[in-house]
Amino acid sequence: MTKAKKGNGKTVAARKAAVKKPAAKKTASRGSVLRRPKTDATTIATVWHSMQTICREMRHVIDRTAQNFLISQLHDISVGLWDSKGTTIAVAVGLPPQFLGAGFAVKALLEKFGDDIAPGDVFLTNDPYHGGHCCHLPDWAFFRPIFYKGKLEFFTMARAHQQDTGGSYPGGYFPNGFDIHAEGICIPPTRVIKRGRVRKDVLDLVWNNVRFPKGVQIDNYAMLAACKRADERIVSLLDKYGRETVLDCVKQMIGRTERAVREEIRKIPDGTYYGESATDDDGTELDVPVSVRVDITVKGDEMTVDFSKSDAQRKGFINSIYAATYGNAFAAVILTIDPALADYHNEGTMIPVHIVAPPGSVCNAQYPATVGASPVNVGNQIMESVLQALSKARPDRAVAAWGKHRGDYVFGVDHRTNERYVRTSFDYDGSSGAVAGFDGYQGVSCLTALGAVSRGDVEEMEIRLPWRLVKYEMMPDFAGAGKWRGGPGIYWAAINQGSDSGIATGSSDGDEVQGFGALGGEPSPKSRTYIVHGEEKKRLKPHRLDTVKTGDMVEKFSSGGGGVGNAAERDPEMVREDVENELVSFQAAREVYKVVIDPATLRVDERATRALRAGH
């Protein structure tokens, strides 16, 4: 309970990163709530929406110009706006671990460069440590300070998952690295553009340390263009409304958001709520699960999310640094806050919520721990445990676990062009979990991406890569049942028509540990991956490295999300519809949902159903 006290809640790392600022900032924004606003509500709303639009435009620029499948088509991108002190202003589009904690990096940048930051500068970093606060090495971030009439006012950032970041194997998701340096090039906050002039020698050093340097170069230009565009747009916004007005609008928005979030927290009964989740293993010590445990203590209008009971950091690559934990935990908290506030989250959301993770925990890993898989594992576990705890605290906003990410990296040679390729994708994920009131959404992948990423097209994949799809369909009875069921699980199979290739399942999880169901809903089922070589079928677990030979088939059974509420309370008509759509079998309808359906007419046998549900 002592941890609930403000200020004490933060870890050493967080406190160090935050440098005395939180206290000052808190008073400032609280003050603004009490003060009579001098900017009218229309202007506040207008400036606010303009900033959201700028973020979307940034993503659009990257999306249109990048060359990396993961960035352009699947949107593994985050962009946002921070103020000159690292206060979060606009985080409209992105992946939680990539950007909700990026304020720490801005603060570290200010600490490192101080007054030596000029208009037209751009800084690059991908380092989880040394002031980068980056969740793992492939997620490179460009930070651009935005000056107005000579004064630093904002920072913008574009962060995206690069095709390669060096290290022992392509792609950045391979297990068993010796330490962080084995995972790739570590770039501390580094100035790559000085007053508008590209420091080509510095960038060449960076690009020289990755595979596919030309591709990465294109993607970097795309990200730099997005930052430049944001700078132009923000300056014209300041021109239009004036510096004082824009800054006041930002302050007012943060104040309003904070007030609304405090109201939401106040609706939760005071007390401590527990949640836990585990990843199958850490990729080095095999088949031993790693657990994240959280106590969420609510007192009045503040909330402390405490990961102290979680496992210690591991030799394997599933360690999460504090900024990533912070981003994931926040995202989970935000999901259970009134959806009407969904468009408004900013620093104001973060003020009444304290995220605690002791250094050396798997949720606050210290140098030189490997972190490659952490956006998925234990990032997913951080979100799951928080959602599990909050589903108990606010049953009306209960959220079940989503299907686990079933990603892999394949690296080989495409015989058609004799070029090397790396393939990764969200194509073989399942679906999201149910929420109180709705079934899980179909096909959206990966809780830690919140549906910001997309899947590819079959035709595009067959044209671009030496793989032929065999089957790609939803599977019956392969999601958590419930009053509201999880989105369906998905079956995916494809044949390797390229060279013998490496396959790394670092971004997979969920062969053993299942995602939770909420309020009595069933958990998300176990997933499986196989390599089929002629008659032989070999199981491929998460966090492993293996080989797929030419002609082999990779087969994935990726489960859907967990359910919410008791399956026997599901509306029989919804069960009937699922049976008609071959998403639920007659047998499961009867045994799990307690609904009897006549196979000849496909109608609900109401009498038999009533009897079955009454327990006869």
Please spell the DSSP secondary structure of 562-608, one letter per residue: --BS-GGGS-HHHHHHHHHTTSS-HHHHHHTS---B-TTT--B-HHH
Measured CA distances, 582 to 563, 579, 596, 599 (Å) = 18, 5, 15, 12
List the interface residues with another protein, window 379-438 (CB under 8 A).
397, 399, 426, 429, 432, 435-438
Mask of contacts with another protein, 435-454, x by CB under 8 A?
xxxxxxxxxxx----xxxxx
Cβ closer to another protein: 469 or 612? 469
- Contact window for another protein (CB under 8 A) among 153-161, 225-233, 270-278, 523-531: 225-233
* Cβ at position 267, least distance to another protein in Å: 13
Which helix or strand (DSSP H or E) is residue 88 part of? strand 88-90
Stretch that binds another protein, among 149-157, 318-326, 333-341, 514-522 (CB under 8 A): 333-341
Residue 229 or 293 having the CB closest to another protein: 229
**Of residues 127 and 414, the one with the C-beta less far from another protein:** 414
**What span, in angstroms and rounded, lies between the C-alpha atoms of 136 and 417?**
31
Ramachandran bin of 448, using left for φ above 0, alpha for ψ from -120 to 50, beta for the remaining angles: alpha
Supply the minimum distance, in Å, between the C-beta of residue 288 and another protein.
Answer: 32
Tell whether residue 80 is a contact of another protein (CB under 8 A).
Answer: no
Write down the least CB distance from residue 281 to another protein, Å: 27
- Select the residue interacting with another protein from 11, 29, 32, 72 (CB under 8 A): 72
Q: Does 229 bind another protein (CB under 8 A)?
A: yes
Spatial separation of the C-alpha atoms in residues 156 and 154, rounded to whole Å: 7
Interaction of residue 582 with another protein, rule CB under 8 A: yes
Residues forming a β-bridge with 276: 293
Structure tokens at 463: 């044209």
Task: Label residues 299-335 b or e (16+ Cβ within 10 Å = b).
Answer: eebbbbbbbeebbebbbbbbbbbbbbbbbbbbbbbbb
Contacts of another protein in 87-116 (CB under 8 A): 92-94
Q: Please report whether residue 340 would count as binding another protein according to CB under 8 A.
A: yes
Q: Does 73 bind another protein (CB under 8 A)?
A: yes
* Binds another protein (CB under 8 A): choice among 12, 288, 312, 342: 342
Under the binding rule (CB under 8 A), the answer on residue 600 touching another protein is no
**266 lines the binding site for another protein (CB under 8 A):** no
The 3-class SS string of 48-76 reads HHHHHHHHHHHHHHHHHHCCCHHHHCCCC
Whether 59 and 98 have beta carbons less than 8 Å apart is answered as no
Q: CA gyration radius for the chain? A: 24
| Shortest spacing between CB 342 and another protein, in angstroms | 4
| Cβ at position 72, least distance to another protein in Å | 4
The label of the residue with tokens 């491929």 reads 540
Assess 119 for contact with another protein (CB under 8 A). no
The two tokens of residue 584 are: 């639920």
Encoded one letter per residue, x for contact with another protein by CB under 8 A and - for no contact, window 132-171 reads ----------------------------------------
Which 467-526 residues touch another protein, going by CB under 8 A? 468-474, 487, 490
